[in-house]
Amino acid sequence: MIQLIRGFKDILPGEVELWQKIEQEARTLFESFGFREIRIPIMEKTELFKRSIGEDTDIVEKEMYTFADRGGDMVTLRPEATASIVRAYIQHKLYAPDPAQRLYMIGPMFRRERPQKGRYRQFYQIDAEVLGVKSPLADAQLIYLLVLLLERLNVAGAEARINSLGCHACRPDFRAALQKLLASVGDRLCEDCTRRKDRNPLRVLDCKVPACREALSDAPSVVDYLCDDCRRDFDELQAALTSLGVAYIVDKRLVRGLDYYTRATFEIQTGELGAQSAVAGGGRYDKLVKELGGPDLPATGFAIGFDRLAEIVGLQAGDYQPRPDVFLAALGERSRSLAFEWCCRLGREGIRVEMELGDKSLKSLMKSADRLGAAHVLMIGDKEREEKVALLRNMGTKEQIAVPFDGVIATVKRLLTK
């Protein structure tokens, strides 16, 4: 038997209702805050991700699904959404009428990571981006949205962590200080960090290898090097979060794994996820629009890990098991074809309806109705057809009423929706 690819998964009925509920809450919330949906392709030119995410990142170095298509063009299954959204913003000049654009997308991403709980090779993200806005209030609003969404989904124990990565003016000083430290602990770093310490030293701060973490326990922190502008923005972000009642922690080691981040970065973590504790992450990427060939416009955004969110929401998939409003139990072929017609017409009226299309005994039909948790059963056999009256049984009260064939759809609809 052919099984699915390692690290990929099916989201089956029973679980999918939970996903739909999360998606619906996210859409409602984003739309209240003026975000509009954008749908971007699943595949892009490899170059787009190399240039935006950065060559020295785990994603680009090791994780992308990249291949030459049949024409020999190098393409990549998207590992994240920001690069594509920025590409679309530039390509379609979405900034022209007004640079400020709030966009969101929901969909699958692909990274060839080592699969484990909370980490998949195809996973889903809910992504929100505010393009063309420099104010740190946009970052505050994004963090607020994340907190609100988790609250609405009954996620307990979520914690916002924020940091600032500085900008092109202040980061070089920090980088120099960090590099000095890295030079002194050089031989204690893992292979990846040894390679990265010159080209991308910030990434070393993010390394999860215990020896690297220990070697860097005295690492300088970016917030101590911020220039006046970055400092002011970071203070404004914190003041806005405080005024919104959002609890947060300044986490000086939060650097995140993508190269394009500048200034505010943030993550939402929860103890419920074990090792993969981040349910969402994001931050400001003020230079990316320009780097990808667009105008010099700032931007900020986040991505929520949908799979991880689905694992921790305080809701059970069982809460969403759909139950039929009515189950049609028809005995004999002629009753069945009549019931089939009713079944289709009731469905068209928005009544949740089920019936068995095969030849079954009344006992087995009633068993099916019970198993499905049907609220009512509409019964038709030879006798009912002769008298032109069907029987509608309320499965809760066991009460039965006669429903004349004439106007049956309207009557059932009225009885079930009152």
Please report which helix (H) or strand (E) contains residue 212, including its range: helix 210-215
* Range 89-148, binding ligand AMP (CB under 6 A): 111, 113, 118-120, 123, 125
Q: Which of 201, 294, 305, 324 binds ligand AMP (CB under 6 A)?
A: 305
Which of 81/133 has CB closer to ligand AMP? 81
Q: Check binding of 301 to ligand AMP (CB under 6 A).
A: no
Q: Is 260 in the site for ligand AMP (CB under 6 A)?
A: no
- If binding is defined by CB under 6 A, does position 257 make contact with ligand AMP? yes
Q: Compute the distance between CA of residue 79 and CA of residue 95 in angstroms, rounded to an integer.
A: 24
Closest by alpha carbon to 220, among 269, 255, 258, 244? 255
- 233 lines the binding site for ligand AMP (CB under 6 A): no
Would you count residue 196 as binding ligand AMP (CB under 6 A)?
no
Q: CB 145 → ligand AMP: shortest distance, Å?
A: 15
Q: Which SS3 state, helix, strand or coil, does residue 201 take?
A: coil
Residue 63 CB, nearest distance to ligand AMP (Å)?
8
* Structure token pair of residue 187: 């031989």
Cβ closer to ligand AMP: 266 or 342? Answer: 266
* 78: contact with ligand AMP by CB under 6 A: no
From the number of C-beta atoms within 10 Å of its C-beta (0-12, 13-18, 19+), residue 151 rates as: exposed
Structure tokens at 293: 């060939």
The least CB distance from residue 331 to ligand AMP, in Å, is 50
Choose which of 80, 129, 139, 384 interacts with ligand AMP (CB under 6 A). 80
DSSP string covering 279-341, please? EEEEEE-TTHHHHTTS-S--EEEEEEEHHHHHHH-SS-GGGG----SEEEEE-SHHHHHHHHH
Least Cα distance to 171 among 214, 220, 102, 132 occurs for: 220
Q: In this structure, what token pair is assigned to residue 352?
A: 């949740």
By CB under 6 A, what part of segment 308-337 binds ligand AMP? 308
Part of the chain binding ligand AMP (CB under 6 A), chosen from 204-212, 299-307, 384-392, 398-406: 299-307
CB of 304 to ligand AMP, least distance (A): 6
255 binds ligand AMP (CB under 6 A): no
Distance, CA of 101 to CA of 94 (rounded, Å): 8
Rounded distance between C-alpha atoms, residue 232 and residue 223, angstroms: 11
Does position 161 bind ligand AMP by CB under 6 A? no
- Contact residues for ligand AMP, defined by CB under 6 A: 80, 111, 113, 118-120, 123, 125, 257, 278-281, 303, 305, 307-308
